[in-house]
Chains A and B, each alone.
Chain A
Amino acid sequence: MSADANDGLSRRGFLAISAATLGGVMLAPGIRLIEIAGARAPEQSVSRQVRWGLLIDTNKCAPGCDDCVKACATENGLKDTGHPRTDAQWIRKVELKDMRTGRANSVPVMCQHCEHPPCVDVCPTGASFKRADGIVLVDRHICIGCRYCIMACPYKARSIVFEAITDQNPDVPRGNGCAEGCTLCVHRIDRDQQPACVEACTKAGHNAMFFGDLNDPHSEIAQRVAKYASTQIRADFKLNPGVRYQGL
């Protein structure tokens, strides 16, 4: 796969930022650019200026380590039912080996929060949707469980729940018959915390995952993607995922 370093911050993204900055400075000196700063008042909607993303440094991600996967399961109440084939997996570690060079890699794969998500394109009810800040979610209130999104997602990021569930985490509702996938821990993001996987990875000292606003040039993630070569999985599909990988 060729590494294309620069399409993470699309031209459109840059223009949006500069427009927002200019607008903020020129039109309304009183209104701070809180969208970009990240902090948001509780009754304020999420902002279009933001594009949440992840950067995964595969050089630091150890084969066999699944700290992020475990943290996700705890946070989101994903329990092992003893039927691995029907269990939902929001994040998984994919072990890779290059067929020609033999180089091995290990990468966490979750919903890639595509800019042009096929899961949203095909959803008949609008249950699959992209939030203004780029997070792709399933609105379980209107999901009919047709599984079309699972058919359409090229990253195997969606699952459907096969059995009744009890004892959910109150922040993470999930139930029988609805499609689901990584939410980027939207409930945590909404209270200015990092996704559970990123937190766990950092806490364990691996530092292989970075979370932040790709549209904010001051964020660590934006600076990293500007500096280092990173790529998207199946960039040839041109879905512009918000999750990027370094060192593949």
Chain B
Amino acid sequence: MAEYLIYHELGGPSRRFWSLLGLLAVPLALAAIAYFYMEHYGHIVTGMDNQIVWGMPHVFAVFLIIAATGALNIAMAASVFGKAVYRPVAPLSALVSLALLAGGLALVMLDLGRSDRMVVAAMQLNPESLLSRRVIFYDGYMASVGVYMWFLLEPRMNRYVKPVAIVAFLWQLLLITSTGLEFGFNFRAVYDSVLYAPMFIAFSSAYGAAALILILLAACGWEGRDVSGELLRRLKNWLGVSVGASLFFAILFLGTKYELVRSRDVARFLLFDGGVYTALLWLGQIALGGVVPLALLLRSRLSRSGIAAAAAMVLLGGLAQMYVTLIGGQAYPQILFPGMIESSSYFDGEIHPYAPSLVEVLLGLGGVALAASIVAIVLRAIALLPERLDPPAKPQA
């Protein structure tokens, strides 16, 4: 099948490309300003406090990182599991994954209390720490996906793609499972569930596929290339299955929380009386990010804009999910003395309020813009998109 897999850079007039970059530069510049402002005055200018210590930048960061691991799934389907339909977009899938990861990690770094010491974080690793083990996971992941991409694009290396893909696949599994477990192992009442590991795998598959679909449609729309109906249909179904699985795990998670007496109060908080978190859970995560796109995706004939709309909804719902998980998880009080009513000058026993400040939102959007810019620039510079995306589907695929 290599015959019609001739890759090309993103074409189009350069004026148009530069205006695209100019457009992306706006959120990037705003994020830079936000960062220096935060760095100068300290985190006092954010909406965070000593009860909600991870705010909006982390919502975006974790979201991007989760989406990043999922975006690779399409490439893995092609190279590890031999699904030939996805082969043309495998390099794009790997690129989107790396770009999203870069955006997310940049946010984590820029939101440090001492971001001037970023180098310390990279150099002086505590081998015992879950987080720094993750730094190693990230490095391994990026390296293996990089090698995988190179082998894909270099015809002479093509025959070694599979083993490299398997390595990348294992790193991917490690990364997403550890991300999920980090929540699951936390002592906070909202977390504390091993379901986080499979749930995050489902989330990542949905967000990653949604991001990939949007970027694919955008890149093809850019030059008026045609995408084969078969590929789109498969991607659409993929997204549908992932969204379905996400919904299933979310319901299982909330249901078990509610059923277990020891966590019923937390479940009640999330499901019924958590205010903004309850609203975001039902309207954002479940409706906008789950039920509505699922209903759309289940239709057998769905227009391109329909697919794009579903993907966009999944991403927005994912952000809502991340907000509920991260901020809601911190807002719910930590229980030091079960069975007792607690109160203190440190806000024990209270639901903690949080309102993201503008700087945090700007920084977070900057992470998204960074990922988008990386994709745009790399697509323009390196031949990653197949010349034709509308080959007839292979019968065995």
Instruction: Indicate yes or no for A touching B, C-beta below 8 A.
Output: yes
Q: Is the CB of B113 within 8 A of A124?
A: no
Interface size class of B (residues with CB under 8 A): 35 or more
Q: Is the CB of A164 within 8 A of B124?
A: no
Stretch of B25-33, B47-55, B239-247 on the interface side:
B47-55
Option from A125, A150, A163 in Cβ contact (under 8 Å) with B124: A125
Indicate whether B339 reaches chain A with its CB closer than 8 angstroms.
yes
Residues in B with CB closer than 8 Å to A206 are none
Q: Is the CB of B125 within 8 A of A125?
A: yes
In the assembled complex, how far is the CB of residue A235 from the closest CB belonging to chain B, in whole angstroms? 11
In the assembled complex, how far is the CB of residue B131 from the closest CB belonging to chain A, in whole angstroms? 4
Q: Is the CB of A146 within 8 A of B346?
A: no
Indicate whether B259 reaches chain A with its CB closer than 8 angstroms.
no
Residues in B with CB closer than 8 Å to A160 are 43, 50, 53, 113
Contact of A118 with B113 at beta-carbon distance under 8 Å, contacts A92-B345, A98-B340 already known? no
Binding site for A on B (CB under 8 A): 41-44, 48-51, 53-54, 108, 112-115, 117-118, 120-121, 124-126, 128-132, 135, 186-188, 330, 334-348
Interface membership of chain A positions 1-30, coded 1 if the CB is closer than 8 angstroms to chain B and 0 otherwise: 100000000000000000000000000000
B-contacting residues, A105-142, CB 8 Å:
105, 109, 118, 120-126, 142
In the assembled complex, how far is the CB of residue A243 from the closest CB belonging to chain B, in whole angstroms? 12
Residues in A with CB closer than 8 Å to B125 are 124-126
Contact of A88 with B121 at beta-carbon distance under 8 Å, contacts A97-B341, A124-B135 already known? no
Which residue from chain B places its CB closest to the CB of A88 in the assembled complex? B50
Contact of A123 with B126 at beta-carbon distance under 8 Å, contacts A86-B49, A146-B113, A177-B114 already known? yes
Residues in B with CB closer than 8 Å to A142 are 117, 120, 124
Size of A's binding interface in residues, CB under 8 A: 56
In the assembled complex, how far is the CB of residue A144 from the closest CB belonging to chain B, in whole angstroms? 5
Q: Is the CB of A85 within 8 A of B49?
A: yes
Can you give 20 A-B contacts (C-beta < 8 A)?
Answer: A1-B339, A85-B49, A85-B347, A86-B44, A94-B348, A100-B339, A121-B128, A125-B124, A143-B113, A146-B112, A147-B54, A161-B113, A162-B48, A162-B50, A163-B42, A164-B42, A234-B187, A234-B336, A237-B187, A248-B337
Contact of A152 with B186 at beta-carbon distance under 8 Å, contacts A92-B345, A144-B112 already known? yes
Q: Is the CB of B187 within 8 A of A152?
A: yes
* Interface class of chain B by DSSP: loop
- Compute how far the CA of A195 lies from the CA of B348 in the bound complex, rounded to whole angstroms: 24
In the assembled complex, how far is the CB of residue A247 from the closest CB belonging to chain B, in whole angstroms? 13
Option from A89, A123, A126 in Cβ contact (under 8 Å) with B346: A89
In the assembled complex, how far is the CB of residue A244 from the closest CB belonging to chain B, in whole angstroms? 14
Residues in B with CB closer than 8 Å to A148 are 131
Contact of A126 with B343 at beta-carbon distance under 8 Å, contacts A118-B187, A142-B120, A145-B114 already known? no
Contact of A89 with B131 at beta-carbon distance under 8 Å, contacts A98-B339, A142-B120, A151-B186 already known? no
Indicate whether A60 reaches chain B with its CB closer than 8 angstroms.
no
In the assembled complex, how far is the CB of residue B257 from the closest CB belonging to chain A, in whole angstroms? 18
In the assembled complex, how far is the CB of residue A122 from the closest CB belonging to chain B, in whole angstroms? 6
In the assembled complex, how far is the CB of residue A116 from the closest CB belonging to chain B, in whole angstroms? 11
Q: Is the CB of B345 within 8 A of A124?
A: no
Q: Is the CB of B50 within 8 A of A1?
A: no
Contact of A176 with B129 at beta-carbon distance under 8 Å, contacts A93-B344, A147-B53 already known? no
Q: Is the CB of A156 within 8 A of B129?
A: no
Indicate whether A87 reaches chain B with its CB closer than 8 angstroms.
yes
